[in-house]
Each structure stands twice: as structure tokens, then as C-alpha cells.
């Protein structure tokens, strides 16, 4: 037999479960001095010695021994006689090795049951502690979850209230915007009606003046002031150039008449033989009229009836020789922004 097969039969040998041939082969192998099989046999013999301790002890009946002895031999065998079997070639399974390697009987300590009891108690106590800790933690987590759910519910309620307030405010704001738009339209309509009435009043006053029903004669300054109050009148401002930085001008054009009112301030006085000339510049300069600024005069109003020049982009005032010119020949004193 191979060493592996003999090593596998060691546990059966320790338990006394080998037949005669296998037992003899293993005993011969052990006598050859195999250290690993000796060590394995020693371990299994210690385990085999513990097997009876796993059985529950029970007290046999008193008649069991007499019954067994009676069935074995009809005649009583003296207790001191020991049968000698000269034909026996080997010991019973395990006996021969017990002579070579006496098994170590387990030492059963009287404190073992107490130790087992204490260990069992500790196991139960530790398990109970872990169960209690898990239950406590779970209860705490459940309570926290309930608190969070309550907080979320409260926040949801508040958010719903805020949404309702926002909706109400949005509706109120839309109504206010609608009302404001209505009032703006009403104001624009009233302004338009007022402007129309103002125009009708001016036309009526002009008609009365022409018929002689009224003795009041309007001056150009009065017409200029009246024109400032009429909407949709084209208004253009002019600023002084480097040679007349303090000068300024203002031009109004009424397409109904059509008339141009030009009002200038702080222009230098005209030297002898010169005059100021007002230009409307579209593709090329077009003369609107001329005027003079005398000594001590700081402002002047020029009123002219002209053709349509609404396409003009720039207006200017230059100092020209008396009588004016068809095109500007001198630098501009006043100029509008294009």
C-alpha cells in the first residue's frame, strides 16, 4: 500500500474500524518509523478518547450484567481466571499501538461546566447588547425620519402658502398694469384732445384777428411762445462754434403754416456791411433768411415762411456780407447736431 493510503487509514485504526490485513499493514508501516503517521495517530487517539464523553451516560439495569454473562457461558467463569489465546498473532485494534504510544486521556476539569456556562452567558449578554443597540439605533432613526417627514410637510405647507400669495400678488399686479395702461391711454387721448383744442383756439384767434373782431395784435414772440405749446412741432437746437462759444439757438418749424421761428442768444454784433444768414443743409445749403444783431442786442427772433425742408439734417448760421449769399462763404457761428 502507498503511504497516502496508509495515512488515510490512520483515523479508522484509532477508532478500531480496520480489518486484520489493513491493520497489520499499518502497524508494519508505523514500526518502520514514519514520523508523520505517528503524529497523526496520536492526534486521532486523543480525539477517539473524547468520543465517549459526547454520549449521555445512562445507568444500566441490574440484571443486564447477569444476562450478558449467562448468554456468553452457561457456567460461571471465575473472576481471577484470565484466558490465554496462544494463537493470537496481534493485539486488538489500537491495543498494540497503545503499548507503543499510550494515548493521553483528556483531563476533564471540574471548572469546565462553569467556564462553559460563563462563556454561554457572555455570548448571550453580548448578543443581547448588540440586539438592544440595533433596536435603539433603529428607534432613533425612525424618530429622526418622522421628524424629517414632519418638517418636510410643514415646509411644503408654507411653500404652498407662499405660492398662493405669489399668485394673488401676480394677479393684483396684472390688474394694476391693466389699470395703468388704461390711464396712460386716457392721458394720451386727453393730451391729444387738448392739443387739438389748442390748435382750434389758435386758428379761431387768427380768424378773429383777420376779421377785425379783436384789437389784440400778436407779436412774433407771442407766436413763438404759442408754438412751444403745440405738440408734434419739429424742434432743433443749435450750439455755438469755437468763434462764438457763448452763443446758442433754437429753431421751430410748423408744417401747418408753414413757418420757421428761429431764436438766437449771445451772438456777437454784426460788423458794418455784414449780416447773419440761416442755412438748412440737406444735399447742399439752402438759405432760409438773414438777420442782424445790433450793438447791445443779446437775442433775436427770425420768423420766415419757407418751403418744405423737413428732409434737412443740419442747420447753421454764418456771418455773410450784407444781403446774404447763395452759398456760405464764411465760418459757421451756430451749428446743429446732425
pLDDT at residue number 24: 86
Residues linked to residue 336 through DSSP beta bridges, in sequence order: 238
Residue 212 has pLDDT above 60, yes or no: no
pLDDT in tens, 241-281: 999 999 999 888 877 777 788 889 999 999 999 999 999 88
Helices (H), the chain: 3-8, 10-14, 20-31, 35-50, 63-72, 95-100, 112-211, 220-228
pLDDT, mean of residues 153-182: 91
Task: With CA atoms as reference, report the closest residue to 247 among 175, 300, 181, 322.
Answer: 300
Q: What are phi and psi of 259, to 5 degrees?
A: -130, 150
- Write the pLDDT tens digit of every residue in 32-43: 888 888 888 888
Confidence of residue 213 (pLDDT cuts 50, 70, 90): very low
- Residue 204 CA to residue 216 CA, distance in Å, equals 13
Strand, helix or coil at 2?
coil
Compute and round to an integer the Cα radius of gyration of the chain: 67
Instruction: Decide if pLDDT at 240 tops 90.
Output: yes
Per-residue confidence band for 91, with pLDDT thresholds at 50, 70 and 90: very low
Half-sphere exposure at residue 274, Cβ-oriented, CA atoms within 13 angstroms: 15
Q: Give 214-228 pLDDT, tens digit per residue.
A: 444 455 556 666 666
pLDDT for 295-314, tens place per residue?
888 888 888 877 666 677 88
Q: What is the pLDDT of residues 97-111, one digit of tens each?
A: 554 555 555 555 566
User: 338: which 3 cell numbers?
Assistant: 446732425
**Contact 238/314 with Cβ under 8 angstroms?**
no
Work out the end-to-end distance of the chain between its first and last CA atoms, rounded to an integer number of angstroms: 125
Q: Over the chain, what is the mean pLDDT?
A: 78
Amino acid at each position: 500500500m502507498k503511504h497516502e493510503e496508509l495515512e488515510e487509514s490512520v483515523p479508522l485504526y484509532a477508532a478500531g474500524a480496520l480489518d486484520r490485513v489493513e491493520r497489520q499493514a499499518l502497524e508494519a508501516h508505523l514500526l518502520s518509523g514514519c514520523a508523520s503517521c505517528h503524529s497523526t495517530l496520536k492526534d486521532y487517539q486523543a480525539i477517539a478518547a473524547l468520543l465517549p464523553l459526547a454520549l449521555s451516560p445512562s445507568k444500566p439495569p441490574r440484571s443486564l450484567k447477569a444476562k450478558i454473562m449467562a448468554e456468553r457461558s452457561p457456567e460461571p467463569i471465575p473472576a481471577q481466571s484470565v484466558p490465554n489465546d496462544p494463537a493470537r498473532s496481534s493485539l486488538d485494534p489500537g491495543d498494540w499501538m497503545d503499548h507503543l504510544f499510550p494515548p493521553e486521556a483528556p483531563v476533564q476539569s471540574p471548572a469546565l461546566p462553569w467556564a462553559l456556562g460563563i462563556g454561554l452567558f457572555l455570548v448571550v449578554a453580548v448578543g443581547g447588547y448588540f440586539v438592544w443597540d440595533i433596536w435603539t439605533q433603529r428607534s432613533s432613526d425612525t424618530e429622526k425620519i418622522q421628524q424629517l417627514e414632519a418638517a418636510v410637510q410643514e415646509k411644503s405647507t408654507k411653500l404652498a402658502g407662499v405660492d398662493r400669495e405669489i399668485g394673488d400678488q401676480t394677479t393684483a399686479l396684472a390688474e394694476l398694469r391693466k389699470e395703468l395702461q388704461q390711464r396712460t391711454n386716457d392721458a394720451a387721448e386727453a393730451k391729444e384732445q387738448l392739443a387739438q383744442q389748442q390748435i382750434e383756439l389758435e386758428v379761431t384767434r387768427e380768424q378773429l384777428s383777420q376779421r377785425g373782431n379783436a384789437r389784440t395784435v400778436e407779436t412774433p414772440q407771442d407766436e413763438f411762445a404759442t408754438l412751444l405749446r403745440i405738440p408734434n412741432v419739429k424742434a432743433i437746437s443749435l450750439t455755438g462754434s469755437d468763434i462764438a462759444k457763448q452763443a446758442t439757438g433754437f429753431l421751430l418749424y410748423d408744417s401747418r403754416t408753414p413757418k420757421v421761428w428761429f431764436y438766437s442768444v449771445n451772438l456777437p454784433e454784426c460788423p458794418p456791411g455784414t449780416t447773419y444768414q440761416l442755412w438748412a443743409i440737406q444735399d447742399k445749403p439752402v438759405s432760409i433768411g438773414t438777420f442782424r444783431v445790433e450793438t447791445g442786442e443779446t437775442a433775436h427772433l427770425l420768423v420766415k415762411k419757407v418751403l418744405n425742408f423737413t428732409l434737412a439734417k443740419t442747420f447753421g448760421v454764418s456771418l455773410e456780407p450784407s444781403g446774404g449769399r447763395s452759398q456760405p462763404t464764411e465760418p459757421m457761428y451756430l451749428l446743429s447736431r446732425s
